[in-house]
C-alpha cells in the first residue's frame, strides 16, 4: 500500500489557491481512477482509495489546515503501518518558479510549515513532489497573501492542460517504483 498525501487547506475559501496545489493534484488522481473522497475523522483527512497497477493507493487531503498536516499524516501512517518511504507528499513550493517540479526523498522543511509539521510527526524520510508556484507577482506581495491567492487564468490553463497531467504521471511513477527525475520544468515560461 502507498499513501499520496497532498498539502492544502480545507473549505471553499481555499479552493483554487496556490497553497492547495497538493489537493488539486490528488483530486486529479481521484478523477482519473473514478475514486471519491470521504471524511475520515480518525485520520483528520478526506480519503479516497484507488488502485494503480494493482497497488492499493490512499489519497489523503488533511482537514487540519496546512500548518498542522503532520497530525493527519501520522494518524494515517500509524493505522496502516506505512513506512515514510511508502508515502509521497505533494505540495506547493514558493521558492520554485511556476511549473517547476522537484522530486526528492526527505529533507528539511525549507520554511514550509506544512512540511515542518510532517517532519515533526515522523515523515522526514517521505518522498516529496515540490511544485513551484512563484511568478512575477511573488515579490510584490507578502508570502501569506501570495500562497492564499488564486491562480491567474493563464496559470489555471497551464495547470489543467500540462502540469496536472504530468503530476499524475509522476505520482504513478512513485507507486510503481519508477522514481521521477530530480527536476522537471513542466511549462515554458520564457514566452
Distance CA 30, CA 48 (A): 7
Please report whether residue 97 resides in a domain.
Answer: yes
Non-local (6+) Cβ contacts of 160 within 8 A are none
Distance CA 43, CA 75 (A): 5
Average pLDDT over the chain reads 90
pLDDT tens track for 82-121: 998 899 999 999 989 999 999 888 878 777 889 899 999 9
pTM given for the model: 0.92
Please report whether residue 190 resides in a domain.
Answer: no
pLDDT tens track for 133-159: 999 888 889 899 999 999 999 999 999
Q: Please give the tally of structural domains in the chain.
A: 1
- Residue-by-residue DSSP string for 62-90: ESS-GGGHHHHHHHHHHHHT--GGGEEEE
> Does position 184 have pLDDT exceeding 60, yes or no?
no
Query: What is residue 190's predicted lDDT score, i.e. its pLDDT?
Result: 39
Residue 189 pLDDT class (50, 70, 90 cuts): very low
User: For position 108, which CATH number holds?
Assistant: 3.40.50.1470
Q: Is 91 part of the annotated catalytic residue set? A: no
Please report whether residue 11 resides in a domain.
Answer: yes
Q: What is the mean pLDDT of residues 129-133?
A: 93
Please report whether residue 166 resides in a domain.
Answer: yes
Query: What is residue 2's predicted lDDT score, i.e. its pLDDT?
Result: 96
> Does position 33 have pLDDT exceeding 70, yes or no?
yes
What's the domain range around 9? Answer: 2-185
User: Within its chain, how far is the Cα of 30 from the centroid?
Assistant: 13
Distance CA 97, CA 101 (A): 9
In order of 46, 155, 166, the CA distances from 101 in angstroms are 24, 15, 10
More confident site: 39 or 177: 39
Distance CA 31, CA 119 (A): 29
Amino acid at each position: 500500500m502507498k499513501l499520496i498525501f497532498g498539502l492544502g487547506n480545507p473549505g471553499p475559501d481555499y479552493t483554487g489557491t496556490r497553497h492547495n496545489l497538493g489537493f488539486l493534484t490528488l483530486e486529479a488522481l481521484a478523477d482519473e481512477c473514478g475514486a471519491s473522497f470521504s471524511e475520515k475523522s480518525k485520520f483528520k483527512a478526506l480519503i479516497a482509495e484507488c488502485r494503480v497497477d494493482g497497488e492499493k493507493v490512499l489519497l489523503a487531503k488533511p482537514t487540519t489546515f496546512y500548518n498542522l498536516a503532520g497530525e493527519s499524516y501520522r494518524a494515517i501512517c500509524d493505522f496502516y503501518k506505512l513506512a515514510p518511504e511508502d508515502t509521497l507528499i505533494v505540495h506547493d513550493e514558493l521558492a520554485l518558479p511556476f511549473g517547476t517540479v522537484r522530486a526528492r526523498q526527505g529533507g528539511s522543511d525549507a520554511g514550509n510549515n506544512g512540511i515542518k509539521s510532517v517532519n515533526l510527526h515522523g515523515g522526514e524520510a517521505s518522498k516529496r513532489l515540490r511544485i513551484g508556484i512563484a511568478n512575477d507577482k511573488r515579490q510584490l506581495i507578502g508570502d501569506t497573501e501570495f500562497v492564499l491567492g488564486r491562480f491567474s487564468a493563464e496559470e489555471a490553463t497551464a495547470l489543467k492542460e500540462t502540469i496536472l497531467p504530468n503530476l499524475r504521471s509522476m505520482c504513478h511513477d512513485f507507486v510503481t517504483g519508477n522514481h521521477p527525475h530530480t527536476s522537471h520544468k513542466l511549462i515554458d515560461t520564457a514566452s
